[in-house]
Amino acid sequence: MAEHEHVRVAVVGSGFAGLGAAVRLRREGITDFVVLERAAAVGGTWRDNSYPGCACDVPSHLYSFSFAPNPDWPRAFSGQEHIQEYLERVADTFRLRSHIRLNTEVKLMRWDAARLRWEMETGDGTLTADVVVSATGPLSDPKTPDISGIDTFPGKVFHSARWDHGYDLRGKRVAMVGTGASAIQIVPEIQKEVGRLTLFQRTPPWVMPRADRAISGAERWLHRQLPFTTHARRGLLWGIRELQVQAFTKRPNELGLVERIAKRNMYRAIKDPAMRAKLTPTYRIGCKRILLSNTYYPALAEPNVDLVASGLAEVRGSTVIAADGTETEVDAIIFGTGFHVTDMPIAERVVGDEGQTLMESWKGGMNALRGATAAGFPNWMTIIGPNTGLGNSSMILMIESQLNYMADYLRQLDVLGGRAALAARPAAVSAWNSRVQERMKRTVWNTGGCNSWYLDENGVNTTVWPGTTTEFRAATRRVDLSEYEVLRPASPWEGATPVSRTEKESGGAKVEAGA
């Protein structure tokens, strides 16, 4: 990287969000951009999560870009290797490789108010950018609990997102910590080869049957020959999930039938009443992420598996001790304990217009205007930002909506002409966040009686969108300039100042979430 290089747009991350942003930039006629990726390949979370059994819990034809349909998905729910192949193909098909800089981790992003640009320090040099698009995603940095004595454990320890493929699990005594989406895929795979598997469960998940199957050659031939059938399939999958949203966001009590289906899924494999009691959640389904598996419960019923209905509390030598006092000797510990979602480490590396980091700005909770822009951070936006997550559909839909917003943001800067920046008004950010949180009050994520990773340390849901993907797309179709201050450099020697628009002239911060 040439020192002091300048680009119009710098995209951070090359998962679905980063590659999607790159494609959209090219389609908008913007070629002066780079995609900065800390790893040696594109793919984001689908590159990093290569654990046994890793697969998506959203149907393949919906978990792909609308502008890059794949008629050759091999299964209804694709595995990690197929999704990674798809993302590599997107990078090639849309000629993105020349823009992507691998092994280039962003160390720091600092706003230069005098020059109205971002100064970026990377592991491969420095550069500046007019606009930064953060596409690092919330599932990128593994979260491992602070367990007393873990540093003295003589065996192997690793997180599911950093799987050690060089370690042979055959015949080993293994502790699996956590029962989230990764763990329920890992358990059935490693149960077949380990000597003994001990699963530490703090809270039982709701697990629905997984309607997976191979997609036949005839279906794939049809999708290749008649592309509209691929779009029709995607549309049907999308429509079904849009209809389901009401139960999650407005009428959680209607989810009782879904709970009965999940219980039948358990009862078919688990015959022991005591184990059934341990595995039965006490909260409303949907409050935590609903998981899909046909093999998780059968694996738990195998004789080489022990279920400990308590979290891991301490490690003494090769002995792992649960919070309820259960002690077990193990050779390896695997953490399936999720990611830094509400405290994303990238936020420590973004320094705004007053010298504060994004982490400091979000100390009271993450919030961003339309899930994209944060007050105090001009010309910086995030994809998959606060309150853009989904509980029942495809995040690709939300990503594409935010790409619409990104594209219009850049168009607005072009219309303004000259050197300019857009700074989200604090009042607009606050109004948007207040409206989102008001809608959140009656959702299953807030009323379901659980403590999930959707909630931050203050108990506020800063991750999930409380509406349909249609509503979100409407809310992010255009940039409303009344929600922003326009910044111009006052002089070559002075900092930037807002011009022409006052709160009164720009209409203040009138904003409706999902309007």
Lowest mean pLDDT segment, chosen from 193-207, 211-225, 281-295, 487-501: 487-501
The label of the residue with tokens 């009965």 reads 260
DSSP state of 148: B
User: pLDDT grade, residue 3 (50/70/90)?
Assistant: low
Q: How far is CA 360 from the centre of its chain?
A: 21
Q: Cα–Cα distance between 26 and 42 in angstroms, integer? A: 18
Q: Average pLDDT over the chain, rounded to whole?
A: 94
H or E element in which residue 415 lies? helix 395-416
H or E element in which residue 329 lies? strand 327-329
Backbone φ, ψ for residue 388 (5° rounding): -120, 0
- pLDDT above 90 coverage of the chain, percent: 93
Whether residue 371 is predicted with pLDDT greater than 70 in this model: the reply is: yes
Domains of the chain: 5-141+340-498 (3.50.50.60), 150-211+238-335 (3.50.50.60)
pLDDT at 489: 87
Q: Which of 490, 479, 320 minimizes the C-alpha distance to 413? A: 479
Q: Is 197 helix (H, G, I), strand (E, B) or coil?
A: strand
Quote the pTM value: 0.94
pLDDT at 513: 52
Residue 29, C-beta contacts closer than 8 angstroms, at least 6 positions apart: none
User: pLDDT grade, residue 490 (50/70/90)?
Assistant: confident
Return the C-alpha torsion angle 426, 429, 432, 433, nearest 10. -100
Q: Cα–Cα distance between 371 and 366 in angstroms, integer? A: 10
Tokens of 147: 């367990």
User: pLDDT grade, residue 509 (50/70/90)?
Assistant: very low
